[in-house]
Structure 1
């Protein structure tokens, strides 16, 4: 099995505009993913860390990257293929509530 990081982007406005039954079904799907071993979390305010040339760490507040929608949460899942991972996250709250989910394959680092 391969590991994937899914990054959900979405905002409250899109969430609120989505039918409550659709949102409830998406949250139930998240519960099934957690029961199957997915690691999930809601995003909080990020910090940026750099240590250029090993000269000392610098920490700044806020995201490094920007997008039209804020990062809402993260999931780490294991599936056989990226297509299977995409299918699983297509039913999550960010995907169904006017947001988007990126799926990033993870590979072991040496």
Structure 2
């Protein structure tokens, strides 16, 4: 089955402004996704890694991409289609808590 990488963005203010019953339903939905085999995690502090032309490795703290909302977490989910993946993530805490979730189709390498 196709896999999708999801990136959830959201902040505490948006989460707190969401009705408790909506948040609870979103967390229950995430629990079902986990039971179905999704891999989920809360975002830690990113590190940028570079090794131009195979030379010296450099790294620095901080994200390469920027957003008005902080990255809240990541998941790898399975869905038959992109549309199904969108439907699945539309019920997650970031999506309902005034954040946003990106869905990236994952083309696995052999």
Q: TM-score with structure 1 length normalisation? A: 0.97
Cα deviations by residue, 1:27-74 (Å, 9 ceiling, x for unpaired):
000000000000000001111001111101101001000011111000
Separation (CA, whole Å) in 2 of partners of 1:75 and 1:17 = 24
The aligned counterpart of 2:17 is 17
Matched, 1:48 2:48: yes
Partner of 1:61: 61
- Rounded Cα–Cα distance in structure 2 between residues aligned with 1:108 and 1:30: 23
Instruction: Find the aligned partners of 1:33 and 1:42 in 2 and give their Cα distance.
Output: 15
Aligned to 2:75: 75
Structure 2 unpaired stretches of 5+: none
Cα root mean square deviation, aligned: 0.8
How many Å apart are 1:23 and its aligned residue?
Answer: 0.4
The aligned counterpart of 1:87 is: 87
What is the CA–CA distance in structure 1 between the aligned matches of 2:18 and 2:79, rounded to whole Å? Answer: 28
Structure 1 runs of 4+ with >6 Å offset: none
Q: May I ask how many residue pairs the two structures share in their alignment? A: 110
Equivalence for 2:3 = 3
